[in-house]
Every structure is written in C-alpha cells, then in structure tokens.
C-alpha cells in the first residue's frame, strides 16, 4: 500500500474508518469522504489523511458527487484505488417497506456508488483497483432485508458490466461481501442495544466464534487493492466468519 493514493467513501466510521486508518499506517495516501463536515475533519486529522465533504450517501443529489470529482481534479489527485464503502440499511418487511425507504436505499446503495464510479473514473490510474463493499445478503436471505439485498445485488451486476467497459483503462473492480459485522450501521438501522447484543451473541455459534469487527474486513480489501489482485475481475470475497458454512 505504500505510496498508493486511495479514496474511501464513508470513511468516518465502521469498516471505512478502520480501513482508512490501516491504509494510512501502511504508507498510503488516503482520502476519506463523508456527509458531516465536523466528522470528516475530525477523522481526517486523527488519521493524518485528507477529507472531503462529499459522500455517496447523499447521492440523491448527483451534483454533489460531480463537485467531489471536480475538487479532486482541481487538487491534481490521481487515484490508485477506490473503495465504494458508504451505504445504509433500513430493515423492514416486504409488506411494510415504504416507497420512500425503497427509493432512499437504492439511491444510496446503488445509485451512489454508480455515480461515484462514473465521476471518478477519469481520475483512476492505469492500473487501478476499485473495491465495492457488498454484503452476504446478496446470496443469503435475511428477514426484513429485501431492499438492502437488492440494492447490493444491483451494484454487483453493474460491476460485471463496468469491468468490460473499463478494461481498456486498466481499471479492475471486485467486491467483498461482509457477514454480520459490529458497526454503527445496526444502531442507525434502529436496532436497540438489546437487539444488537442478541444479534452479535448469535454469532458465537459461527466457526469464528464471535461477531466480526471492522478490522476483520480490512485484509480482504487490502488484498483487492494491492497489485496481487491484478488478474481479478468481478471476483467476490466473502468475509463472513464461517456464517454461511
């Protein structure tokens, strides 16, 4: 990672924050994005990296991502890696999901990384690596997660086509599918502390024997960002602690 310039969307918390910290410690020039200016500045200062207030979690307004690309270009930034990490989870049953929740999830989890990739493609070096943070929900059915699963599966389909179109530019795109990982996404999804404790406790029965943390996801992402993944296209790495066994 030493010397590489890597942008991580949603880099102020969870997997994105842990990854940005690890990459910085290994000598990469890291750029994080986020919605909240204070959080972006605080996280960037703590990690010694650059921060931009623009995130695919606000992708209902694609102009914001256009401004992000313009700001990076103005700062003469070229990217060796892009991690499409930002996302949301609004759990609800199929029969109870509102149209607003459906549209918001798709806007953030599918349209967001799509527009980010579209806008930042001219800034990606040859070669470069894009990593999409997907979910095991793409292949494993979870109650109350239909729209979330669909939003991740939809972008994985985009990845397959984008790999064909971006091949002449030396850009490769692969995905990781995290299993249940303890981050702030559970709280943002409306789960109480008791519900989170029950969910995390249920992971004690996996082969790993515990719920995963953001640090457990870093190794797979770093590998896909590294030159050792040069021959990989549309690969999916499931990091689930053995949940799917």
90 is catalytic: no
Cα–Cα separations (whole angstroms), residue 62 to 67, 148, 195: 9, 20, 35
181, 203, 152: which is closest to 13 by C-alpha? 181
DSSP for 163-218, written as a single string: HHHHGGGTEEEEEEEE-SB-STHHHHTT--HHHHHHHHHHGGGSSS-S-B-THHHH
Q: What does the block give as tokens for 171?
A: 């850009």
Contact between 185 and 13 (Cβ < 8 Å): no
> Which one from 114, 148, 155, 166 is the annotated catalytic residue?
148
CB 178 within 8 A of CB 136: yes
Q: Active-site residues: which are they?
A: 148
């Amino acid at each position: 990672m030493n010397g590489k310039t890597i942008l991580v969307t949603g880099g102020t918390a969870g997997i994105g924050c842990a990854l940005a910290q690890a990459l910085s410690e290994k000598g990469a020039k890291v750029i994080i994005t986020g919605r909240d200016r204070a959080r972006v500045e605080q996280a960037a200062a703590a990690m010694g990296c650059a921060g931009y207030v623009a995130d695919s979690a606000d992708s209902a307004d694609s102009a914001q991502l256009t401004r992000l690309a313009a700001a990076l270009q103005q700062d003469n930034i070229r990217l060796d890696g892009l991690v499409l990490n930002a996302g949301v989870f609004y759990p609800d049953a199929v029969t109870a999901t509102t149209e607003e929740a459906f549209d918001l999830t798709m806007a953030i989890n599918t349209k967001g990384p799509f527009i980010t990739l579209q806008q930042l493609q001219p800034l990606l070096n040859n070669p470069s690596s894009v990593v999409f943070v997907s979910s095991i929900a793409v292949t494993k059915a979870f109650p109350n997660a239909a729209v979330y699963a669909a939003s991740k599966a939809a972008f994985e389909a985009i990845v397959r086509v984008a790999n064909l179109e971006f091949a002449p530019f030396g850009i490769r795109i692969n995905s990781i599918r995290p299993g249940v990982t303890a981050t702030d996404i559970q709280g943002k999804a409306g789960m109480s502390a008791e519900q989170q404790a029950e969910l995390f406790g249920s992971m004690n029965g996996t082969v790993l024997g515990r719920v995963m943390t953001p640090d457990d996801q870093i190794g797979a992402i770093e590998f896909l960002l590294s030159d050792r993944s040069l021959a990989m296209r549309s690969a999916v790495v499931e990091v689930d602690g053995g949940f799917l066994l």
